[in-house]
Structure 1
């Protein structure tokens, strides 16, 4: 199980899947008939991987099992031999052996020895003294071992060893012997297109001139274009294909496969492979998706070898990544890798960047967008629904469109539901799983399914573990920047919340109510266009309550009361969580942010106000307000819950001390972004709590005091006031 196909040529007719056995049977008759004449050279032509060697294997099998009287089959593999002229010697040796075996009973030993010497002399003269020829001739000719040592001697010295007889005289003697023997020969020479140019030219010379004997049919296999180019290089001819016509009297191009043959075979192989791994046949959805992938990407298949290569690639990839991928998409990607490498490379780059964009781990410039869009048009140029258009990726790769503007062809928007559907099924378009299709691992910028599932499990069953995980992710940086908590929060969109159990939803809300102040203390920056972690957590918390309202209405009041009464993160509860609902009701800030989509009824918000009001008084009475993380948030929430008068009264008391005054103004600074992040202090930041002009004047005075604990902070506040005028 799970072992790859070695891609060896087939030799057992029972393994034939493409009709090669029948084709070889039909070719055998004419080839055998041609052995009765003066000789013939047949060329089996086809690109690499199309099945030429398998066809020759079956042809050899057919001829040998036909047991035709007087027919001998000789198979040569010059590509394996790797010698420039050894082919002529090997061929002549095998011819000699066959003739010798046929006549050993009817001829005297002297005659046999004489013909053996004739073959040996001819081999040496045809090879012109090559060491390789002499090596073989040493077994054919007396004195051959001496000839080996004479490699560098002149031809006349060589002839002193082999004796008389010109090349033509020796060849004529061999031709006569073959004609008189009654034997016929089929000589199969495979893989000419794999030879070096000089080797290919030598094979052609042997077939055309050295061994053009009667009653001998040569069956050569090669890629016509490759062999023609090799002849052009080695012989210096302008047109290798025309030169090849002088050698090959009958060319037989490998027939095209019947429509869908390769796709049907690939489908059978991939379904069988799925069963090997999963221990059962594929379900209907997987089978339908696989058929769509093969119908689309499989249109690019050209040879049986490609079917084998794809099957092997899928076997390896699925074995390595099956926990993080979807089988039909793995098959699609591996088909592209084998037969459409340009499209494979584009997909790897595009999906890698898209994963970063969707998970808010980075951005991409307009120039880069245009580059991806331009390349997409190059790899999939068609406008119709063919396999060569972007429509073949519809529903598989998100964000693509057929737009005239290259920048707008790619990285288009997707709904949260679409993205989460791909994540759930581990599809190729999932920002969490796309990298696993190319690198057998999830991206370093996203959380693995294992870790995500552990987070959800803790949410439903282990509050302490959940809080530990939240804090751990808040403190741990992602490779692309930002915390892993931000990634977790981004994944918890409406679609994810819809799929979580009520126990998990309650667990997350109560964990936020306990740990968000600890996260505030980490001082994570506010992210442009995305907001802060605490803001995102508040948004998620209210989405959770909205979901509970529709599915577990009685549980809403219970979990909300527990969070407000016992949650340790009082700053977040007052400054972020409840303010989100107050803004939705138009009861926070200036009242101009009404969303008309509040979660709580009037009586519920009143109870929330009362509960948090009591807790605010406890914090104030303990004198811990300025020790809270980001206390300005607490002050704004306090103002919206209890009114401005109470907050201003507390502020007036606290700021009587200069150090508390500068600390408070420092905390009230806001943030603006331009070429970088700036901290500014505007009147709007201050006026709800004290008179801005009076505060500014006091700061200017404190800049010069001797107490550096005060003066240094005062300088920062003064700079923030000055900087605010620029924005």
Structure 2
């Protein structure tokens, strides 16, 4: 990768300094050195978690090495790694004693005989510090015991330490008190030309009891001259820990008693965090995709970083977002839109609750779009209220506003009431853009952003691509494949064939070449009667399957006509004369075109010539072919076995007029059983308090010479061997009067 996963370790090499910490350390180090030459000073280096405190400390430590020439020694302690008070005391005092031991040895060498007095002085200080540490550890032991820290196989560490200190008291004839020891140590240290900088890092990781003892240690245990303490912590976190550990209302006030001055980690310069994030993700994209991100995608990325990147507050948050992208993007780079992927990881890092809301909302919306489920008013209300709470701003340019989020989350609007905020209808062009670019808002791709795999109710892009490949290279194979999809149902009971029709949106069709357009039209048309036989149930709140197919075929034919009119004409003639799905051709494709040309209906479905699938002249040519084909006696003998008899009969009526269908009905319905069967096939459907399948008076008038005679005949059959069927039809006729 352009950069490996970042373990979030503090920066130690100046070349990796991305936020100016080296410059801060260079200016801060001399002031810390001066503080170590006085009577003792406690400096608070404050910054929130992830702000770079430890990185700054690393650079500061490097700068302080130069101060060793001035006999200023740096000691680093991580109290949160020490399990008890004894080790905490020793971790501060023993390094001081070790430094003094080195000074003692240097002063005792032959070349340094004149320093014998210094060596004696240092030796005394070392002994005093050792005794002082034991005395102090005994004093603090009860607190450590209360904190609950224990060593394996032993009593609580505080108890052990207290016993050890008591034993030392018994061995000494007249042990000095801690106060006396401290006074003697102070007196002797003042006489030495040596100072210490004690760095106490990560104090905000301590448990409350530990936090209390650390600050007490700094103030009371090791409060020596020529010692400067640099305490590193998140002020709010440490103050809360002190409040809990001391059982006081305001831990910050107690902290002020300990710390004489503070230096706060400065905020990164404006846009530094976003700039670093942008640079790193662009490197990653180029490495994985082999090209630079450019054009609209680059603009979308910059917009995402500028908006969602406003929430970045610390270098650590940048690392978290980058690590999430580096870790997962290589696995889904062909299934997601890179700018949206980066946007989502910024949201995950800076606004995690909104991230979880997005995952839930997009999953539900995907099921709605695929037709595998619905959402009720209560669920809409709950979802909308949550969104309003998460994005309360009313300013369109705010990253915390619904206005802004609607640019990448489909179906959300800043409206009242709450239920109208979510799952709103979206323009077709917007949905097509989401799908074609594989954006976060695509119902077919959203899950790759969260789970690295596609939704179970959605066909993979690989399968869709295979269908498009077959449309160019193997049309018989496409027909077989589509027929198989028509026989395979999803969880909702709908077929995968219907899903393919949904995926073939105008934008996808717009990218097909001539061969693919022709092949797709041929494949869909050939399987439509098979499809209707398997799945011809009414779609009460959505277009019928036949209409969905008509949309796809129509768009393919219109585009083919623009590319190659001759091929379009040839394919249209084949559809009318040879396509095996005569039921759908007559009752669906051609009948719809008649409405669009304004030849049937009341004209409200007439469209502009630019939207016609066939020109007026070509349509008339196709109708002549269809009339001749319908007049075939063998075909008419198969009408009652068709999957959509009603659709075919109305199509026949619109293509040839009422006389031919009426004559055929009169002939075939002489037999009572066929009569009732035909009436059953001609029932419509309606939704009120439940689903009804009425038989309308108008239908009887269109296809029978005498509608009243039909009603009388049905009534006469109620007492016949066909009683059940007759009563069913009689009820349907009565229902038709009410709709």
TM over 0.5: same fold? yes
| Alpha-carbon distance in 2 for matches of 1:272, 1:111 | 60
Secondary structure at the aligned position of 1:670 is classed as coil
Asked if 1:74 is matched to 2:75, the reply is yes
Of residues 468, 478, 481 in structure 1, which corresponds to 2:480? 468
Shift of 1:211: 0.6
Q: Which residue of 2 aligns with 1:617?
A: 631
| Alpha-carbon distance in 1 for matches of 2:604, 2:91 | 96
Shift of 1:20: 0.9
Asked if 1:685 is matched to 2:686, the reply is no
8 Å CA contact 1:150–1:158 kept in 2: the answer is no
| Alpha-carbon distance in 2 for matches of 1:131, 1:209 | 15
| Alpha-carbon distance in 1 for matches of 2:100, 2:713 | 119
Is there any run of 5+ residues in structure 1 with no aligned partner, and where?
Answer: 135-146
Asked if 1:563 is matched to 2:575, the reply is yes
Of residues 420, 437, 460 in structure 2, which corresponds to 1:425? 437
| Alpha-carbon distance in 2 for matches of 1:534, 1:150 | 85
Of residues 170, 173, 197 in structure 2, which corresponds to 1:160? 170
Shift of 1:7: 0.6
Q: Which residue of 2 aligns with 1:128?
A: 138
Change (3 A) 1:155 1:262: closer
| Alpha-carbon distance in 2 for matches of 1:38, 1:110 | 23
Structure 1 range deviating more: 539-548 or 322-331: 539-548
| Alpha-carbon distance in 1 for matches of 2:60, 2:239 | 25
Asked if 1:698 is matched to 2:713, the reply is yes
Change (3 A) 1:582 1:38: same
Change (3 A) 1:81 1:148: closer
* Deviations 1:97-153, CA, capped at 9 Å, x for gaps: 11122113535999887655533332222111788999xxxxxxxxxxxx9996675
Change (3 A) 1:593 1:151: closer
* Deviations 1:182-225, CA, capped at 9 Å, x for gaps: 22110000011110000001001110001101111000001111
* Deviations 1:255-308, CA, capped at 9 Å, x for gaps: 222211212222222222222322343334433322222111111111111111
8 Å CA contact 1:262–1:304 kept in 2: the answer is yes
Q: Which residue of 1 aligns with 2:307?
A: 296
Secondary structure at the aligned position of 2:510 is classed as helix
8 Å CA contact 1:581–1:599 kept in 2: the answer is yes
8 Å CA contact 1:85–1:132 kept in 2: the answer is no
8 Å CA contact 2:84–2:158 kept in 1: the answer is no
* Deviations 1:438-482, CA, capped at 9 Å, x for gaps: 232333333332222222222222212221232233223333452
| Alpha-carbon distance in 2 for matches of 1:148, 1:589 | 95
| Alpha-carbon distance in 2 for matches of 1:260, 1:596 | 52
Change (3 A) 1:317 1:619: farther
8 Å CA contact 1:92–1:119 kept in 2: the answer is yes
8 Å CA contact 1:423–1:432 kept in 2: the answer is yes
| Alpha-carbon distance in 1 for matches of 2:527, 2:59 | 74
Q: Which residue of 2 aligns with 1:57?
A: 58
8 Å CA contact 1:390–1:401 kept in 2: the answer is yes
Q: Which residue of 2 aligns with 1:143?
A: none
Q: Which residue of 1 aligns with 2:25?
A: 24
8 Å CA contact 2:203–2:233 kept in 1: the answer is yes
Change (3 A) 1:458 1:118: same
Give the 5 Å matches for 1:563-642: 563-588=575-600, 594-595=606-607, 597=609, 598-618=612-632, 620=634, 623-642=637-656
8 Å CA contact 2:103–2:122 kept in 1: the answer is no
Shift of 1:93: 1.4
Change (3 A) 1:606 1:287: closer
Secondary structure at the aligned position of 1:342 is classed as helix
Q: Which residue of 1 aligns with 2:395?
A: 383
Of residues 206, 228, 232 in structure 2, which corresponds to 1:217? 228
8 Å CA contact 1:473–1:485 kept in 2: the answer is yes
Structure 1 range deviating more: 435-444 or 359-368: 359-368
| Alpha-carbon distance in 2 for matches of 1:67, 1:284 | 55
Q: Which residue of 2 aligns with 1:648?
A: 662
Secondary structure at the aligned position of 1:549 is classed as helix
* Deviations 1:18-42, CA, capped at 9 Å, x for gaps: 1111111111111111222111000
| Alpha-carbon distance in 2 for matches of 1:624, 1:524 | 18
8 Å CA contact 2:85–2:137 kept in 1: the answer is no
8 Å CA contact 2:100–2:122 kept in 1: the answer is no
| Alpha-carbon distance in 2 for matches of 1:151, 1:279 | 63
Is there any run of 5+ residues in structure 2 with no aligned partner, and where?
Answer: 109-115, 145-156
Secondary structure at the aligned position of 1:128 is classed as helix
| Alpha-carbon distance in 2 for matches of 1:512, 1:392 | 40
Aligned-residue RMSD, C-alpha = 3.1
Q: Which residue of 1 aligns with 2:491?
A: 479
Shift of 1:411: 4.2
Shift of 1:365: 4.0
Change (3 A) 1:111 1:423: same
Q: Which residue of 2 aligns with 1:35?
A: 36
Change (3 A) 1:20 1:523: closer
Q: Which residue of 1 aligns with 2:96?
A: 95
Structure 1 range deviating more: 517-526 or 154-163: 154-163
Asked if 1:501 is matched to 2:502, the reply is no
Matched residues, number? 714
Q: Which residue of 1 aligns with 2:522?
A: 510
Change (3 A) 1:457 1:527: same
8 Å CA contact 1:10–1:16 kept in 2: the answer is yes
Q: Which residue of 2 aligns with 1:118?
A: 128
| Alpha-carbon distance in 1 for matches of 2:124, 2:666 | 127
Secondary structure at the aligned position of 1:44 is classed as strand
Secondary structure at the aligned position of 2:12 is classed as coil
- Report the TM-score when normalising by structure 2: 0.89
